[in-house]
Amino acid sequence: MAPVSNRDRPRHPLYALVTERANHVCEYCLAPEEVAGKEFQVEHIVPRARGGTDDLANLALACHRCNPSKWATQEALDPQSQTRAPLFNPRSDSWDVCLAFELNPADERVRIEGRNPTGRATVECLHMNAAHATRARWKWFFHDALEALFHSATSRDPEA
28 binds Zn ion (CB under 5 A): yes
Positions 58 through 97 that interact with Zn ion (CB under 5 A) = 63, 66
- Between the alpha carbon of residue 16 and those of residues 27, 44, 113, the distances in Å are 15, 15, 30
- E strands, the chain, are 41-44, 59-62, 75-78, 83-86, 99-104, 109-114
Closest CB to Zn ion among residues 35, 77: 35
Of 8-16, 29-37, 137-145, 146-154, which segment contacts Zn ion by CB under 5 A?
29-37
What is the three-class DSSP state of 35?
helix
125 binds Zn ion (CB under 5 A): no
123 binds Zn ion (CB under 5 A): no
12: closest CA among 65, 72, 62? 62
42 binds Zn ion (CB under 5 A): no
List 25, 26, 99, 112, residue binding Zn ion (CB under 5 A): 26
